Amino acid sequence: MDLAALRARFPVLERVAYLNTGSVGPMPAAACDAVAAELERALADGRASAAAFARDAALADRLRAKVAGVLGCAPWEVALTGSTTDGVNAILAGLDLQPGDEIVTTAEEHPGLLAPLAAVRDRRGVELRVVPFEAVAAAVGPRTRLVACSHVSWQTGRVADVEALAAAAAPVLLDGAQGLGALPFEVGALGCEYYAAAGQKWLCGPVGSGYLYVAEGAIDGLAPAWPGYGTVADTAAPLDSAPVAGAARFDMPTAPAERSAWALAALDALAASDLDAVRARAVERAAALAAELAAAGLAVAPRGASTLVSWEAADPAAEAARLLAADILVRDLPGTPYVRASVGGWTADAELERLVAAATSTS
């Protein structure tokens, strides 16, 4: 992998050590160009012609296929959403959950997963069981209708025991916000029925983009959460129509052309440097950073083979602000003792050295 060529695609890297992709990834220059081209086309040609609608649909189809390639699944198993949380809500709304059913989750989940779980608990009388991250598979019981947990913990970078989860006798919904684009995997090998992920993080797409994998065998058992024009097979007879084939029935309303164009350009920018190599380097350099921080005396959170590294600080918000003043972009994690760095495949070793030096400095 040509690190210099990869970094050159992201102009922000010239100014700052960008270590917060776990929130929002850096924007490639090609994505800015792609969005500008779509907006200029709409400005000049209008947005209501048959050709414009066909272009929107074609871009969405291309995006669905590209994301399926990253996930390692078939395009008909991918829905286009607006966020990880959209995917979570689609699953919870589509399942026939009843009072007394149990959902198992963990104590390390993001509010984007916990808020939908709280809502389904309150609205449908579902029992919510919260257990330690490492104990989730063992907590599955006879009333468990769903396991909903992170593939990668946003707090610590720990990775779920997907083999144990796959062996548990309950369907699994993985929050893949810190997994898709960050770790090398094929979603079918994870053994989950559902995988909800974001487009703006490790895939460097626009805010407001997300993807939902629904395993082929689980599609028909899930009701569309947002039925509409794009989710019915026969738009001329929507009252009597069956859903459109595949996971596209779980799409959010029409994906605008500029959003799809940005997402596609970002995927192409990563693919130009070999996405597998980008992901592998990110995981390897994150492990090196964790070791260096620990060796320097910082309390690094227990983690797995992921791209996230968290460490304890007396005042995490103040520490993140102090590092930003040194042009090192990390984040604090509210409600935890941690500051978190997100290591990308594009992160230079010198940037990690700067972080270690700054994080261990008292000035």
What CATH number should be reported for the domain holding residue 351? 3.90.1150.10
pLDDT, residue 254, reads 77
Q: What percent of the chain has pLDDT over 90?
A: 97
Does one domain contain both 155 and 57?
yes
Residues 6+ apart with CB under 8 A from 289: 309, 341, 343, 352, 355, 356
pLDDT category, 293, cuts 50, 70, 90?
very high
Q: pLDDT digit string (tens) for 239-286?
A: 999 999 999 999 998 788 999 999 999 999 999 999 999 999 999 999
pLDDT, residue 90, reads 97
Look at the chain and report how many structural domains it folds into. Answer: 2
**Residue located via tokens 């210099």:** 4
- Which residue among 238, 271, 304 closes a domain? 271
H or E stretch covering 302: none
- Whole-number average pLDDT of the chain: 96
Q: pLDDT digit string (tens) for 40-88?
A: 999 999 999 999 999 999 999 999 999 999 999 999 999 999 999 999 9
Of residues 339 and 230, more confidence is placed in 339
User: Rounded to two decimals, what is the model's pTM?
Assistant: 0.96
Does one domain contain both 211 and 98?
yes
Strand order in the sheet with 144-150: 78-81, 210-214, 194-198, 172-175, 144-150, 102-106, 127-131
pLDDT, residue 341, reads 98
Does one domain contain both 349 and 216?
no
Q: pLDDT digit string (tens) for 225-244?
A: 999 998 999 999 999 999 99
Flag whether 32 is in a domain. Answer: no
**Closest by alpha carbon to 156, among 295, 302, 297, 23?**
302
Does one domain contain both 23 and 75?
no
- Which residue among 271, 306, 339 closes a domain? 271
pLDDT, residue 363, reads 59
pLDDT, residue 253, reads 81
pLDDT, residue 1, reads 86
Range of the domain at 148: 37-271
